[in-house]
Structure 1
Amino acid sequence: MRVLVFQHTAGEHPACFTSLIAEAGDSAHTVRLWEGDDIPDLAAFDAMLVMGGPMDVWEENAHPWLRPEKAAIAEWVGAGRAYLGVCLGHQLLVEAMGGRCAKMVIPEIGVSPVGLTKEGRADGLLAGLPDPLRVMQWHGVEAETLPEGTTLLASNPACHAQAIRVGNRAWGVQFHPEIDEGLVGYWMGDPGNRAAAIEWLGSAKAADQFASDSAAHVPLAAQQSAALYARLRGAV
């Protein structure tokens, strides 16, 4: 299988998915959008994996590559092809397919549970996963209006659309299943990220606790990534 990866910043790379792609005998082509990489011919690929990023989904003036990225996602998903979006990639799916995202009143950051809906418990991506599912969150934007043809798969009180399916083979998850050893520590090593974590959580102590909790969550996240990637492959 050939996977097309859209990456938006150096720090938010496929992480766990990188080894899963290799172990499956698949190949990945990463488009580093923030570096000006061109989007290749979509016909050459079997699945699309879209990662997170610190920018907001509507910041097209600051990040002009968001426009062609959304167009590529709309073309891909409109053709019924297998898609998985993580965090920003989830929000891009929403906006590319006609929905709308907005700033959250209270950002969501930390390891917390999300509950599967009835549809989520029967869905090809999430069926059989624990319910509630403990996941790592770091986002200040949420899907406010879902695209036509969307199925809500998971939710929690902080953010209604935690996981969705658009059509039959395009999924978005607002959380981060991809984290591996050291990734959250790397994110927190960036002064801007750390300042945001302190602001959102209210103190440096709480931010450090978040980093510790996230590091402890890595083995469970690895299981989640493995399940999601296997099911994405099965949708191709």
Structure 2
Amino acid sequence: MRVLVVQNFDNEGLGQIGAALAEAGADIDLRKPYDGEALPRDSSGHDAIVLLGGAQNALDDEKCPYFPGLLDLTRDFADKDRSVLGICLGSQLLARAYGGKNQIGGATEFGWHKVSLTPDAKSDPVLGALPESFPIFEWHDDTFGLPENAVRLAGSVVAENQAFRLGRAAYGFQFHFEVDSPMARDWSTCFASLIAERHPHWAGKLDDEIARNGPDADAAGLAIARAWVATI
């Protein structure tokens, strides 16, 4: 199993997805196109693709001139029934790739927030075993409309579209299910100045937030990661 991982921003790691891929014995091919690394021409050398998050918006082709090629590559994976996973920015790019309308701004969520599954999620192979609602880590300002033929799987008060599926195994997740409690602590350190500008009380309440939400969020995130890996 060879999985292409597209990183779009420094310190945006795989987290619990990496743990699930390691359990499955996957060979990870990490590319950083924002840092000048080339992307494959097509999906032929990989069984799946993961599109990680980033501070960019999904329409930012000027700052990220690799975006159009990444959209083509993503469609190639999905159209050939290879598993696709987009997280946060990655989900917004997946939506864009199939005609979903990107909304820039107006949907800010940060920290652990509750998401609720839709009725369609009950029969979904990735989300079907999860509780109807659970806390999960969020960090975004943008959102998106669903592409045609997408199955809406989860939403929240702020962002109606928190998870969707296209075809058999192309999944977009607005929320960061890969972020477990240790990774949340790491991000709180790595991005401390950025967080402090917009959420000045975060550092002081991090321990309480982890104690209240961490166990349920970590369990949900790992379950999602393992179930997606099982689609490859």
Pairwise CA distance, 1:181? 4.6
1:212 equivalent to 2:204? Answer no
Pairwise CA distance, 1:38? 1.0
Counterparts of 1:64 and 1:113, CA distance in 2: 34
Q: Aligned residue for 2:72?
A: 71
Q: Conserved in 1, the CA contact under 8 Å of 2:107 and 2:142?
A: no
Alpha-carbon RMSD across the aligned residues, in angstroms, is 2.0
Q: Conserved in 2, the CA contact under 8 Å of 1:152 and 1:163?
A: yes
Matched positions, count? 229
Counterpart mapping for 1:83-232 below 5 A: 83-143=84-144, 145-189=145-189, 190=191, 193-198=194-199, 204-205=200-201, 207-208=202-203, 211-212=206-207, 215-216=210-211, 217-232=213-228
Q: Describe the shift of the 1:106–1:28 C-alpha distance in structure 2 as closer, same or farther (beyond 3 A).
A: closer
Identity of aligned residues (%): 28
Residue-by-residue CA offset, 1:62-101 (whole Å, 9 max, x unaligned): 1112121111112211222211111111111100111111
Counterparts of 2:151 and 2:32, CA distance in 1: 30
Q: Describe the shift of the 1:196–1:43 C-alpha distance in structure 2 as closer, same or farther (beyond 3 A).
A: farther
Residue-by-residue CA offset, 1:169-204 (whole Å, 9 max, x unaligned): 111111011114543333333355224532xxxxx2
Counterparts of 1:59 and 1:212, CA distance in 2: 35
Residue-by-residue CA offset, 1:113-160 (whole Å, 9 max, x unaligned): 1111110121111001011121111100001x2111101001122110
Relative to its length, the structure with more strand (as a share) is 1
Could you say what secondary structure the match of 2:106 adopts? strand
Pairwise CA distance, 1:213? 5.2
Counterparts of 1:192 and 1:170, CA distance in 2: 34
Pairwise CA distance, 1:228? 2.1
TM-score normalised to the size of structure 2? 0.90
Q: Describe the shift of the 1:232–1:182 C-alpha distance in structure 2 as closer, same or farther (beyond 3 A).
A: closer
Unaligned runs of 5+ in 2: none
Runs (4+) off by over 3 Å: 209-222
TM-score normalised to the size of structure 1? 0.88
**Which is further off, 181-190 or 148-157?**
181-190
Q: Conserved in 1, the CA contact under 8 Å of 2:16 and 2:225?
A: no
Counterparts of 1:231 and 1:94, CA distance in 2: 21
Unaligned runs of 5+ in 1: 199-203
Q: Conserved in 1, the CA contact under 8 Å of 2:138 and 2:175?
A: yes
Q: Conserved in 2, the CA contact under 8 Å of 1:150 and 1:166?
A: yes
**Which is further off, 53-62 or 109-118?**
109-118
